[in-house]
Structure 1
Amino acid sequence: MKKIQYITSCLLVLLTVTSCQDFLEEENESFAVAEEFYLTEEGYQSLLNANYAQLREIYGNEPWIYVCGTDLFAEGRDAEPTGLSRYTDLNPSSTGVAGLYDNAYKAIQTANTAIYYADLTEATDILDQQLGEVRYLRANAYFLLVQTYGGVPLVTDYFREPVLEFSRESAEDIYSFIISELEAAVNQVSSGAYQGKVNERAVNHLLAKVYLTRGYESFGSTADFTTAASYAEAAIAGQGLNLSFEELWAPGNPTYPINEETLFSVQYDPASVSTDPFNLGHQQTAYFGPYQGGSEVAGDAPYRTYTLCPTQFAIDLFTEDDERYQVTFMTEVYERYFDFYDVDDTSTLTVNHYYAPAWEATQADQDAYMAEHPEATYHQYGTYVPSANPTNDYQTIPLKKFDDPEAPFGQNTSRRDIVLSRLGETYLIAAEAYLQAGQPDVGLNFINDVRERADVDDATLAEFDIDYILDERGRELIGEYHRWFDLKRTGKLVERASAYHYLVEEGNFDGANGVLKILRPIPQSALDLNQNNDFEQNPAYQ
């Protein structure tokens, strides 16, 4: 039994690149009886929990793979990984390229283990539901992989012996597998309200997004868009966008459910990180803004890396009447940053920094503000973005929607859930799917529901196109780990990154063999360990 468990943890070395030595040091006390344990109801539940825990590895660390190198974010004082952010030296050994690949395959192998034991473990009333949840989690990992790297190895077996040779399946086959898994899962999981576990609406949302994404592929079809719209409507299930945008993001109880519009999220309740709060939290809060001081300000301001800062284009997406602007950005920073959340009446507080919006760009506007707040540093519109070459603290506008005032000061400390699927995005998926299915009038209704919640004017049919959808997704979903996939899916990555990211030029995407560097390269670490000599790198990196 010990040998089986050891192999399970170190299996698929070329895909997971994990350390078996670390595993032995951390888990040695009880793994000898793990196989018997998984045959019990309690043991299988622990295996299911391990599957959910893998989401933290996929989403809880540095978010480069999801958002950098796009139109919405660029580096401030500190540098991002240049391969992923600028594309100039993107290669199989570039920083950040292997992270998603490794963590997704760890999740897949954890899922394969749970699916294997589902046939052997003690029968319970919820076993089929648990199996559906695992299928969703495995499908989600493959969806991330196929969007990022294209065709990848399709591994569905629980290995009892190390396997070091894998073939690469086509992207078309990976999509077919994802869809088959999700369509099976949707009939297995709970149809009840979201309580932190995969439910029917979460599966429908992901199915909608998978079909939408496949529709743009060479092997996709208009029928994919129609199907995506159908699944999006099933996920919406008649629910309106009833919460204000402020209610969506106001810090509060960081455990699930965040609110009634959350369809699925990565869980980070305080109890689960209490044993090591400085390392077991996640990093989403630490990005998307300027450095605001070191440990000496702990409790007064959040930790910021100063590496993913909103671009001028991101700022300019918003108009004065858009309620999302003030919820998304911290436009007025008090002497103590967190007083924004902790003080009910902030009218008498000292303002340290003010970031003037486009609609307050005149000298008269500045004079009026400074007369009222003479102690403030006034950042004129157009000066607080990365392209203005900020080098000092507070020189870019903070993105506040992920703030966690109760978290300890540090990069890995946030305990708020990372929202993966929420109702506002489901509406936007429906809008895009109907547009691409040739029913723009229907899609327009969905995007205007999102805009109505933001208190902005309806879009018109004449302006409703894929660029308008991408702009609306930018306003609604900025920072939510979708942007690179959005641009890649719609074929707008090169156009938008080179137009709005001040460090990216169109030629940066030129790869080998006349192929653009759209897909990321298969990590060199995986290629080196794969004994299949016919396993090919993506053409742009050959």
Structure 2
Amino acid sequence: MKKIIIIAILAIAFSSCSGFIEEENLSNVTAETFYNTEEGFNALVNANYNQLREIYGDDAYVFCGGTDLYSDGRESGPEGLMQYSQLNSSSEGVDQLYRSCYKAIQTANTALYYANITGQTSNLDQLIGEVKYLRANAYFLLVQTYGGVGIVTDYITSPQLEFERNEASEVYEVIIQDLQDALTTVSDGAFTGRVNKRAVQHLFAKVYLTRAYEGYGDSTDFDTAAAYAEDAIAGQALTIPFAELWFPGNELNAETIFSVQFDAASVSTNPTELGHKQANWFGPYLGGSEVAGSAGYRTYTLLPTDFALELFTEEDERYDATFMTEALWRYYADFDGNNPTGDVRHFYVPQWMTQAEVDAYALLHPEAEIHDYGTYGAAVVSLDYQTIPAKKFDDPTAPYENDGRVSTRDIVLSRLAETYLIAAEAYLNTNPGLGLQRLNAVRERAGLSTPLTTYNIDDVLDERGRELFGEYHRWFDLKRTGKLVERAVAHNYLIETGNFSGANGELKILRPIPQSALDLNQNRDFPQNPAYQ
């Protein structure tokens, strides 16, 4: 592998986070001595886990914006990421993953450097495997988002003035090697917050599935993806009711394969900055601090599109577990799991209710404003409560804070139902019969009594939309399958085909390399992605 040094990493490491500087500065003899001890090395590994909070804890636009499921409502997210028409290398949010992932990579490289000189312990190989998984995850996010990027596997102690760009195929080689190393060393036990073998298998399956669509992919990638997915499934059935999966505080359930860990104690020193924002998205304003008992801050952006709502049928149990059909005045104050108490202020009529049923409901709840079906998707740009709220990630313990990172629920990155759907997508290209079994198992757990007898990639994407709404996968799903333009144009009211038109006749599929990284680089031959040149 070529030795490539990226100036952007050092710009992040030495200027964007003073705490990171203090922790990683090798000019500090005390720090170097500390990392050579078992306690110090464990702290360094824990710092790698903490980087997950930075990757996933802030704005969700890079994961969800500009897709078929979410769009702007009364307020607007970054126009480039949400609509593509103004997407360029200086657009708001395009550097989010670039910065946070390279910071994670540098933290991983630091740990791997000290792993060679720290005191040997019985679990050292396991910790190295965990770090390599985390580095692979960061590179996987980068290569999906930006294409080929610079590969860095060395610990960097001083700024470099030039860097090169590797091919995407080379980045995948690094990812696969890291995951291979991790698979043989991480724990084979149950998930308790640290990387284990199932987490590696799940990510491995997704990596091979994603590469399979690329021209440089191997002809066996779909088969390999299915095999790793089956290893991660390990014969486990989907048995937990969907609503129970998302009961606040139950994120660490038997179907969770890997998640970003949060808790109130760990953010107590700065409770409005050290949590995360997942509870802020996917719904309108619910009254906030002026409501008795308060309701968490909502952004009015990344609201569910009409298409997202139309995906569900009456028997699908995921609808009521995902969306708040009844908006309550004292929602958080009277919070009782998925059945909170309190006066109904707004009712969002599901598409399957008859007019007679709506009239009967209105008689029982004269205090409620009735929102007819078809009138409360993201395209309704009006007042509070006019679009349907999503409740899947609600955190009744979070303080109200305008745009603050206040939620301390875990962010679930990998779970068993998605592993089933990865297998179904891979089998679509190799063994559709087995794929149907995996797809129908997800549908059956959701209460859908009629199994599919045939399926295509759109069926897989629709099922992922129902099962994984809000779970930070959608942009990657559409980009991976080549459906981003088609589905965003068809189902997002703010996006037209022309929005994707970029320079050189190229479409804006990949995000642009951030201008800040290009400006720091003295290698003027470093290529920008073609659509932004």
Which TM class, normalised by the smaller chain length?
over 0.9
Counterparts of residues 80-229 of structure 1 (less than 5 Å): 80-229=77-226
1:151 deviation in Å? 0.2
Is this contact kept in 1: 2:199–2:414, CA < 8 A?
Answer: yes
Residue identity matched to 1:227? T
Change (3 A) 1:24 1:380: closer
Is this contact kept in 1: 2:108–2:135, CA < 8 A?
Answer: yes
Is this contact kept in 2: 1:351–1:375, CA < 8 A?
Answer: yes
2:351 alignment counterpart: 358
1:25 deviation in Å? 7.9
Change (3 A) 1:212 1:28: closer
* CA deviation profile, 1:267-297 (whole Å, cap 9, x unmatched): 1012101122122110000111001224323
Is this contact kept in 1: 2:444–2:451, CA < 8 A?
Answer: no
1:3 alignment counterpart: none
Asked if 1:332 corresponds to 2:326, the answer is: yes
Which of 309, 312, 325 is the equivalent residue of 1:315? 309
1:300 deviation in Å? 2.7
Is this contact kept in 1: 2:247–2:337, CA < 8 A?
Answer: no
Residue identity matched to 2:392? K
Asked if 1:377 corresponds to 2:369, the answer is: yes
SS of the equivalent of 2:259 reads strand
SS of the equivalent of 2:66 reads coil
Partners of 2:130 and 2:453 in 1: CA distance: 39
Is this contact kept in 2: 1:289–1:309, CA < 8 A?
Answer: yes
Partners of 1:91 and 1:44 in 2: CA distance: 40
Which piece of structure 1 moves more, 28-37 or 494-503?
28-37
Which of 427, 430, 446 is the equivalent residue of 2:423? 430
Is this contact kept in 2: 1:281–1:414, CA < 8 A?
Answer: yes
* CA deviation profile, 1:357-389 (whole Å, cap 9, x unmatched): 001253x333211111001010110111122x3
SS of the equivalent of 2:95 reads helix
* CA deviation profile, 1:181-223 (whole Å, cap 9, x unmatched): 1011100100000010000000000000000000000111441
Partners of 2:85 and 2:201 in 1: CA distance: 38
Is this contact kept in 2: 1:67–1:479, CA < 8 A?
Answer: yes
1:22 deviation in Å? 6.4
Which piece of structure 1 moves more, 353-362 or 123-132?
353-362
Is this contact kept in 2: 1:510–1:517, CA < 8 A?
Answer: yes
1:317 deviation in Å? 0.3
Residue identity matched to 2:408? R
2:495 alignment counterpart: 504
Residue identity matched to 1:354? F
Partners of 2:257 and 2:311 in 1: CA distance: 26
Is this contact kept in 2: 1:16–1:103, CA < 8 A?
Answer: no
Which of 427, 444, 447 is the equivalent residue of 2:439? 447
SS of the equivalent of 1:353 reads strand
1:346 deviation in Å? 6.3
Partners of 1:490 and 1:344 in 2: CA distance: 34
Change (3 A) 1:445 1:339: farther
* CA deviation profile, 1:465-514 (whole Å, cap 9, x unmatched): 00000000000000000000000000000000000000000111111111
Partners of 1:343 and 1:135 in 2: CA distance: 37
Change (3 A) 1:346 1:185: closer
Q: Tell me the TM-score normalised to structure 2 length.
A: 0.95
Partners of 1:508 and 1:203 in 2: CA distance: 37
Partners of 1:158 and 1:15 in 2: CA distance: 11
Residue identity matched to 2:263? D
Partners of 1:112 and 1:54 in 2: CA distance: 13
Asked if 1:415 corresponds to 2:412, the answer is: no
Is this contact kept in 2: 1:111–1:138, CA < 8 A?
Answer: yes
Partners of 1:248 and 1:460 in 2: CA distance: 24
Q: Percent identity?
A: 60
Residue identity matched to 1:415? T
Asked if 1:68 corresponds to 2:65, the answer is: yes
Partners of 2:113 and 2:337 in 1: CA distance: 53
Gaps of 5+ in 2: none
1:79 alignment counterpart: 76
Partners of 1:491 and 1:162 in 2: CA distance: 38
SS of the equivalent of 1:166 reads coil
2:42 alignment counterpart: 45
Change (3 A) 1:124 1:335: same
Change (3 A) 1:440 1:343: closer
* CA deviation profile, 1:231-283 (whole Å, cap 9, x unmatched): 00000111111101011001136xxx620111100010121011221221100
2:531 alignment counterpart: 540
* CA deviation profile, 1:305-342 (whole Å, cap 9, x unmatched): 11110000000000000000000001111221226633
* CA deviation profile, 1:30-55 (whole Å, cap 9, x unmatched): 94411111100000001001100000
Partners of 1:345 and 1:441 in 2: CA distance: 38
Partners of 1:119 and 1:518 in 2: CA distance: 40
Q: CA RMSD in A?
A: 1.8
Count of matched residue positions in the alignment of Structure 1 and Structure 2? 524
SS of the equivalent of 1:206 reads helix
Gaps of 5+ in 1: 1-10
Is this contact kept in 2: 1:66–1:485, CA < 8 A?
Answer: yes
Which piece of structure 1 moves more, 244-253 or 116-125?
244-253
Partners of 1:436 and 1:245 in 2: CA distance: 28
Partners of 1:361 and 1:16 in 2: CA distance: 60
Change (3 A) 1:147 1:344: closer
1:7 alignment counterpart: none
Partners of 2:337 and 2:419 in 1: CA distance: 34
Is this contact kept in 1: 2:6–2:152, CA < 8 A?
Answer: no
1:23 deviation in Å? 5.1
Partners of 2:451 and 2:484 in 1: CA distance: 24
Is this contact kept in 2: 1:132–1:188, CA < 8 A?
Answer: yes
Is this contact kept in 2: 1:15–1:526, CA < 8 A?
Answer: no
2:483 alignment counterpart: 492
1:426 deviation in Å? 0.3
SS of the equivalent of 1:264 reads strand
* CA deviation profile, 1:47-94 (whole Å, cap 9, x unmatched): 001100000000000010000100000011111101011100100000
Residue identity matched to 1:156? T
Partners of 2:216 and 2:494 in 1: CA distance: 33
Change (3 A) 1:39 1:343: closer
1:4 alignment counterpart: none
